[in-house]
Amino acid sequence: MSVLDKIAQIRIVPLVTLDDPNDAVPLAHALVEGGIPVAEVTFRTAVGGEVIERMAKEVPEIIVGSGTVHDIDHAMETRDRGGKFVITPGFNPKVVDWCIKHDMPVCPGTVTPSDLEQALDFGLNTVKFFPAGAYGGVKTLKALAGPYAMMKFVPTGGVNLDNLLEFLSLKNVAACGGSFVPPSSAVKAKDWKAVTETCKKIVSMVKSLG
């Protein structure tokens, strides 16, 4: 089973942005214990690469990859640090091409039919839909399901606990990503138990869909 298929089974992609790399391992454990063993570690801070490496080496149960990847250098760093996937905010053909040629699962950002045509040209069938809220959310995804029935989406940006199930109930949604997990307040407070409890609540919500 591919990495993206495993993520589609879990259905949630936690967005992780850390300033302190020492938080990497306890946060990873908290996510695993909460039943969401995935982490999209963003390169929005200087320690993103170190966070990926620590999670990958010390918490092998978690599927850790990178987010906010704008260039090939960060895609390479993801691989070299032990990351298992790359997520980009927009469709960058150079990054996608590098990932495919180096067997790195990639989930590029898309919002328009033109983006999706590029994704199809590269042979991709799972893409990010970002920023989901600003580009019509559930309504747009329903509209795209007709001409792009072969495509699965990971909506991110504007997804929260209030609309999560509405997104996940769509047949063309593989998983949802966002900063609703782990809660930033809990991470800042280093309250790993709160992170685990939030994950368990979300897992319970997802299971309610059947």
Catalytic site positions? 40, 128
Q: b/e per residue, 34-55, with b = 16+ CB within 10 A?
A: bbbbbbbbbbebebbbbbbbbb
Interhelix angle 24-33/48-58, nearest 10 degrees: 50
Question: Alpha-carbon distance 10 to 173, whole Å?
Answer: 12
φ/ψ of 53, rounded to 5, equals -65, -45
DSSP label at residue 208: T
**Cα distance between residue 103 and residue 45, in whole Å:** 26
Query: How many residues are given for the chain?
Result: 210
